[in-house]
Amino acid sequence: MTYLDAAAAIVGPTQILTGEALAPWRRDWTGQYLSDPAGLVRPGSTAEVSALLALASRHGQAIVPVSGATGLTGGAVAGPEAVLLSTERLSTIRSISAAERTAEVEAGVVLSTLHAAAEEEGLLYPVTFGARGSARIGGLLATNAGGSNVLAYGNTRDTCLGIEAVLPDGRVLSLMSALHKDNSGLNLRHLMIGSEGQLGIITAAVLKLVPAPRIRATAMLAPRDLAAALTLLNRLQDETGGKVVACEYMPDIYIAGHLRYVAGAREPFGQRHAHNVMIELASPSAADAAPGEDGQPRLSAQLEALLAGALEEGLILDATIAQSEAQRAEMWARRESAAELTFARRPFVDCDIAVPLAQVAAFLQLIRQRVRALVPGAEDMVVAHLGDGNIHYTIYPGEAGLAQAAELRALVDGTAVELGGSFSAEHGIGLSKLPAMRAVKDPVAVETMRAIKAALDPAGLLNAGKTIP
Ligand SMILES: Cc1cc2nc3c(=O)[nH]c(=O)nc-3n(C[C@H](O)[C@H](O)[C@H](O)COP(=O)(O)OP(=O)(O)OC[C@H]3O[C@@H](n4cnc5c(N)ncnc54)[C@H](O)[C@@H]3O)c2cc1C
């Protein structure tokens, strides 16, 4: 009996997909990685995931977990030897506790579904990014996703209190705690978060919620340069008591790309500026939302006053504050078109790196010189979560320059590390960052990862060939 035949007895034959039915999983979101799995299995409970992994262990069957399939590093692609295990049917929000401000959710819950459910309780699940309509909690946890609100609320890791995962041999690791303090031994929850399906399949989690903002004040700014942007960010944090929740960088090439590739796109300002930053302040406080003497909410008035001062001082050259939800949505849509406009041109070499906040400008200057020295005529695209130093840097080397894709990637990764940064900020390792793991990650760290992988998955059946070289 094949693995898929035996799996059908666990999940029912309709939950096994093969052949034509696998079409949606054959190509990843970026179109860079192709899959050709033997099949896809859709368990409906933790018990079924457990039975499927125990079965895989007995059959020596390679398994690749997949949640929303929006990952950008090739982490969920599968070859013909592997079976995809989808979490999509684990889609229950088991409970939301308004009193404790927590949500207990299954791994297949779509991020935007959790956002909506939290909002109904006057709460917010703060991790957010452009793929929120498809990405699922299991994928967020497996990649420790970041997004646009990291400077205020942290990465997915920082929002997770408890986790449930099925180990490669089928045992269920149950750490579904809602505790904020629990120092009972090694922190296996944090080991599972960001492990990209190497150590187990995450089936459920307890997540922290925060009070929903009553007021948001959003603006597009044109800082004089990136140093001025950082000065202003720190000032806004200081003056508002840390209410900046997003600080997103879009240089002129990004604005040009947005206008070129996204229907209905508009210039942020009357004239084009070299540096453009979208900033958002948010507050759950009724006092911040209440109208002041000029009739506008106090937080908006405070932002306006601070930006007026920054304009006078020359820190910024231009600013537009959203006056309506529609204007705010337009600002966010501009930023969240990043993946669409970046991948509209091909071929590309996409990189996701982090550097210390004060090194963003140095990184961009250095990498452009180095890229053009290697591939003359290469173009690039930049968009950054400026508030946490995360730069999405994409190179368009042209068909001829594509032969140097590996060198270009190594150049970007190496330059980030040289400036005290990381070659992987928020998208994880998957397949695309394996060369950097080999080349620049501390060798003792890699050996330790291998030892942990071997201890939990001695046969190497779970998401083999990725993440840990
Ligand atoms: C338009 C767009 C915008 C994006 N913006 C951001 C952003 O701002 N910040 C950011 O961090 N990411 C971003 N991403 C990347 C991606 O959305 C995130 O990495 C997301 O967390 C992946 O979730 P997913 O459910 O799609 O996971 P998948 O793509 O299905 O899987 C990702 C990895 O996790 C593993 N995995 C999946 N589910 C499980 C599970 N239950 N247990 C164990 N392993 C599992 C897979 O094997 C794979 O290695 C963006 C992607 C797109 C397409």
Expressed in angstroms and rounded, the spacing between residue 340 Cα and the centre of ligand 1 is 16
When the candidates are 3.90.1150.10, 3.40.50.150, 1.10.10.2120, 3.30.465.10, the CATH number that belongs to 93-211 is 3.30.465.10
Angstrom CA distances, 100 to 209, 211, 255, 337, stand at 9, 11, 42, 35
Which atom number of ligand 1 is nearest to the Cα of residue 165? 42
Indicate if the pLDDT at residue 431 is higher than 90. yes
Show Cβ contacts of residue 98 under 8 Å, excluding neighbours closer than 6 positions: 121, 122, 123
Sign of CA dihedral 150, 154, 155, 159: negative
Indicate if the pLDDT at residue 170 is higher than 90. yes
Q: At what angle do helices 360-374 and 226-240 cross, to 10 degrees?
A: 150
Residues 332 and 356 sit within 8 Å (Cβ to Cβ): no
Task: Report the pLDDT averaged over residues 347-365.
Answer: 97
How do the domains of the chain map onto residue ranges?
3-86, 93-211, 215-338, 345-445
- Distance between CA atoms of residues 152 and 357, nearest Å: 15
pLDDT value of residue 1: 87
pLDDT digits (tens, 9 = 90+) for 244-267: 999 999 999 999 999 999 999 999
Residue percentage of the chain with pLDDT more than 90: 100
Indicate if the pLDDT at residue 370 is higher than 90. yes
Domains 215-338 and 345-445 share a fold: yes
Residues β-bridged to residue 283? 215
Expressed in angstroms and rounded, the spacing between residue 140 Cα and the centre of ligand 1 is 5
Q: Which two tokens stand for residue 368?
A: 């452009």
pLDDT digits (tens, 9 = 90+) for 100-128: 999 999 999 999 999 999 999 999 999 99
Is ligand 1 within 6 A of the CB of residue 49? no
Which atom number of ligand 1 is nearest to the Cα of residue 203? 41
Q: Which two tokens stand for residue 25?
A: 């999983």
Is ligand 1 within 6 A of the CB of residue 364? no
* Topology at the third CATH level for domain 345-445: Alpha-Beta Plaits (3.30.70)
Is ligand 1 within 6 A of the CB of residue 168? no
Helix (H) or strand (E) holding 280: strand 277-283
Expressed in angstroms and rounded, the spacing between residue 185 Cα and the centre of ligand 1 is 29
pLDDT value of residue 303: 98
Pick from 35, 70, 134, 432 the residue to mutate for probing ligand 1's pocket: most ligand atoms within 8 Å of its CB: 70
pLDDT value of residue 300: 97
3-86: CATH number: 3.30.43.10
215-338: CATH number: 3.30.70.2190
pLDDT digits (tens, 9 = 90+) for 413-428: 999 999 999 999 999 9
Across the chain, mean pLDDT equals 97
Indicate if the pLDDT at residue 153 is higher than 90. yes
Indicate if the pLDDT at residue 351 is higher than 90. yes
Is ligand 1 within 6 A of the CB of residue 432? no
Is ligand 1 within 6 A of the CB of residue 424? no
